[in-house]
Structure 1
Amino acid sequence: MLYNLLYPLSEHFILFNVFKYITFRTAYAIITSLLISLFVGGYLINTLKEMQLSQKAKGYEPARHKEKEGTPTMGGIMIILTALFSTLLWADLTNLYIWIVLFVFIATGVLGFADDYIKTVKKDPEGMKPMVKFSLQLVIAAFAVVCIIIVDESGAATKLALPFFKNMVFDLSFFYILFALFVIVGTSNAVNLTDGLDGLATMPSVIAFGTFILFSYVTGHVQFADYLQIIYVEGSGELAVFCGAMLGAGLGFLWYNTFPATVFMGDVGSLSIGSALATVAVITKHEIVLAIVGGVFVIETVSVIMQVGFFKATKGRRLFRMAPIHHHFELKGWEEPKIIVRFWILAFMLAMIAISTLKLR
C-alpha cells in the first residue's frame, strides 16, 4: 500500500524513491510484523485463555504431553493477522502473485480455524474429518495453481527445474497441476505434522521463509536469474516482501511459542504457513529446493509414512517408538528442548544447502 501511495510521489520528493526497492520494503515488512506480534501477542493469548480455547491431548502422545493441556491454541491467528497487515502495508498491491499467495494463506487459515474450532469448542480431539479437510485443501490449491498459470506471461508456470544441474528444465504441461497440488497440500500437512513440540515447526518455518526471501528476489530479477541460470519469473520478486512479513510474524510468535510454550499455533497456523510457503515455491519455480529447505518437514512426514507402512507390512510391528519422529526421540528419553534445538540446527544446515544450489549448477 505504501508503495502504491508514496512511490509515485518520488518525482517530487526524492525520499520516497526508497519505496521502489524490494529489499527496503522487505526489511520493513519483517520489522513491522515482528513488532506487532510482540505488541499484541500477550493480549491474544489472554483472550484465547478467557475463551478456553485449549487443545486436549489425543491420548496417544508421550505421557508428558498431558502437562501441556490447558495451554491455549489457535495462536496462528496472530501469525496470519500480523503477516497480512505487514504485507498489505509494504507490498505492491498491483502484483497478482501477492494476491494469489494471500488467498492460499487466508483460505487454508480459515480451514485450519474450522478444524481447531471443532477440537476446542466442540471437544472433538480428532477435529474435522480427514477427507473433508483434504478435499478442501485440494480445492484451494487447485484454484491457486490455475491462477498462477493464467497470470504467468513467460510460459514458465508449468516448468520444473532441477537444482544442481544446468539447463535441467522440464515442461510438465497439464501434469504440472497435479505436481503443484501435491507440493502445496503436502507441505501444508507436513508443517502440521511437525507442530508437535514447542517451537518445533515455528523456527524451521522462519528459516524457510528467510531462505525464500532470497529465492524470490533473484527469481524476479532478470539479471540475477540469467547469471544464476535459474528460471526468471517476472513479478515474483515482490514475494520477498510477503516472505519477510512471514519471517517477522514467525519470530514474533516464537517469542511466546518457545519452550515452555504459552501458546500453540494450532492448525490455523500450521496449515496456512505450509501452504503459503509451498505456493511461493511453486511461483518461483523452486519446488524441489523447497524439499531441501523444508527437509525437517519432509523427515517428519516420511517418518509417519514409514511407520504406517511398516506397521501394516509386519502386521503390528513398529519401525519407530512413535511417529512423527520427534515423538520417537521423546520416548528415547531426550529432553524436549534438546530435540527442538537439534531440529532447528538441521533446518539451518538444510537452508544453507538449498542456497548453495544457486551456484552449484
Structure 2
Amino acid sequence: MLYYLFRFLEQFNIPGAHIWSYISFRSLLALIMSLLISAWFGEHFIRWMKRRNISETARDPSIDPFGVEKKGVPTMGGIIIIVSILIPVLLLGRMRNIYLILMIITTVWLGFLGFMDDYIKIFKKNKEGLKGIYKIIGQVSIGFIVGLTLWLSPDAVIRENVSQVKQGQEIVISHKTEPVKSLQTTIPFFKNHNLNYSNIMSFCGKYKTAAGWILFVIMTIVVVTAVSNGANLNDGMDGMCAGNSAIIGVALMIFAYVSSHIVYAAYFDIMYIPHSEELVVFLSAFIGAVVGFLWYNAYPAQVFMGDTGSLTIGGIIGVCAIIIHKELMLITLCGIFFIESLSVIIQTQWFKIQKRKGKRVRVFRATPIHDTFRRLDSQLDATSTYILKGWPKRPFHESKITSRFWIISIILAALTIITLKVR
C-alpha cells in the first residue's frame, strides 16, 4: 500500500518519493520492519498465551530428555512469524504482482492449516492433532492452486537464456527478447543446465507440452508437500527450524534477486523472470520474521512455533523455489529437511518389514534424525534391536545439535549457490 502511495506522490515531486521504486530499499525496510514486529508482537503474544495457560502438551520424556524444562511453554508461535511477514509485505509490496499474491495465499493457507492442527492439540487435548489425511489434502490443494496459476496466468512468464559463441570462442549469454510461458527449470552441475518438463513427456507426441504442464503441476504439489512436511519434522528443538529456514531464505533471496535482474541472470546463465523482484521483498520479510522469532525461540525457548509456523515456513520455501524455477535445487538447499524426512521413512518402513518377519528392528535410535543425537541409551526400547545403536557414541545437548545443524545448512546453502557457476 505504501508503495502505491509514494509512487502517486512521486508525480508531485515530493522529495524522497522516488526511492520506493528501488527494490533494495523496500527489501531492507521489509527486513527491518519484520524484525521489529516479530520482537514487539512476540513479547505481547507470549504474555497473552501464558496468562491464558495456553501451552503445548507436555512432551514425552523418553523422546525429549530436556522436556521437563519446557513445561508450560506457549505454542502456536507461528502466528508471530505470519503476522511479521504479512504486515511488511502488504505495506511495501506491489500487490498486483502475481508472484507476491501466490506467496501471500500460501502463507495464509498453510498458516490456517497448521493453526487447526495446533488448536486440536491444545484445546481438544488430542496429541495427534489434525488427521494426517486433512493435512495432505490442504498441502496438495495449495500446491495444485500454485501450479495451475503458474500454468494459466499470462503474467507468469520468463525470458529464456541462450548461449552464443562469438569470435575467439568467447561464449556470450543473452536472453530472448520475448517473454514466454516456459516449462524449463534449472538443474545443477550440467553445462546446459535447463531441464524442460515437456522434453520428459516427449513420448506424448504433439501433446507433450500439455503433458509437461501437468507434470509441472504434479511437481509443484510434490515440492510443496515434501518441503512443508520436512520443515514440520525439523521443528523438534529450540531454534532448529527457524535458524535453518532463515539460512535457506537468504539463499532463495539471492536466487530471486539474480533471476529478476537481467544482467545478473545473464552472468549466471539462468532464466530471467520479469517481476520476480517482489519475491525479494517477501523473502526479506520472511528472513526478518524467522530471525526475530529466534529471539524467543532460541534455547531455552519461550515459545514454540508449532505446526502453525513449520508448515507455513516449508510451504513458503517450496512455492518460492517453484516460482523462480529452482525447485530441483531444493534437494541440496533443503538438505536438512530432506534428511529428516528420509530418516523417518527409513525407520518406519524398515520396522514394518522386520515386523512381518516377527522381529522388532529399528535403524536409528530415534527419528527424525535430530532426536538420534539426544537419545540416551537408557531411553531405548529394550524389546527392539537397533542397527545404529552405537551411533552417536554419546548424546548431545540440543543447543549443540541445533547449532551444528545450522552450520550444515550454511554449507548446503553455499554449495547450492556455487552450483550456478559449477557445471
Q: TM-score range by the shorter chain?
A: over 0.9
Contact 1:200 1:344 in 2 (8 A): yes
Deviations 1:324-358 (A, max 9, x none): 01110001411111101000111111111111122
Q: Aligned equivalents of 2:17 and 2:367: distance in 1?
A: 52
**TM-fit CA distance, 1:107:** 0.5
Contact 1:105 1:272 in 2 (8 A): yes
In percent, how many aligned pairs have the same letter?
Answer: 39
SS of equivalent residue, structure 1 residue 170: strand
Normalized against structure 1, the TM-score is what? 0.96
Matches for 1:120-159 after TM superposition, within 5 Å? 120-151=122-153, 152-154=156-158, 155-159=180-184
Q: Aligned equivalents of 2:54 and 2:227: distance in 1?
A: 26
Question: Aligned partner of 2:31: which letter?
Answer: I
Contact 1:95 1:235 in 2 (8 A): yes
Gaps of 5+ in 1: none
Contact 1:163 1:357 in 2 (8 A): yes
Normalized against structure 2, the TM-score is what? 0.82
Q: Aligned equivalents of 2:261 and 2:279: distance in 1?
A: 12
Q: Please name the residue that 2:5 is paired with.
A: 5
2:232 paired residue among 184, 192, 205: 192
Q: Please name the residue that 1:301 is paired with.
A: 341
Q: Does 1:29 align with 2:30?
A: yes
2:284 paired residue among 244, 247, 264: 244
Q: Aligned equivalents of 1:258 and 1:240: distance in 2?
A: 26
Question: Aligned partner of 2:20: which letter?
Answer: F
Q: How many residue pairs are counted as aligned between the two chains?
A: 361
Q: Please name the residue that 1:321 is paired with.
A: 365
**TM-fit CA distance, 1:153:** 3.1
Contact 1:198 1:258 in 2 (8 A): yes
**TM-fit CA distance, 1:40:** 1.6
Matches for 1:172-211 after TM superposition, within 5 Å? 172=197, 173=212, 174-211=214-251
Q: Please name the residue that 2:46 is paired with.
A: 45
Q: Aligned equivalents of 2:112 and 2:278: distance in 1?
A: 24
Question: Aligned partner of 1:319: which letter?
Answer: V
Decide which structure has the larger Cα Rg and report it. Answer: 2
Q: Does 1:103 align with 2:67?
A: no
**TM-fit CA distance, 1:138:** 0.7
Q: Does 1:275 align with 2:337?
A: no
Q: Aligned equivalents of 1:24 and 1:193: distance in 2?
A: 35
Question: Aligned partner of 1:339: which letter?
Answer: I
SS of equivalent residue, structure 1 residue 147: helix
SS of equivalent residue, structure 1 residue 56: coil
Deviations 1:132-157 (A, max 9, x none): 11112111221121112223234455
Q: Aligned equivalents of 1:156 and 1:54: distance in 2?
A: 47
**TM-fit CA distance, 1:320:** 0.6
Deviations 1:233-253 (A, max 9, x none): 211121010000010011110
Q: Aligned equivalents of 1:106 and 1:225: distance in 2?
A: 31
Q: Aligned equivalents of 1:68 and 1:339: distance in 2?
A: 17
Q: Please name the residue that 1:87 is paired with.
A: 89
**TM-fit CA distance, 1:226:** 2.0
Q: Please name the residue that 2:186 is paired with.
A: 161
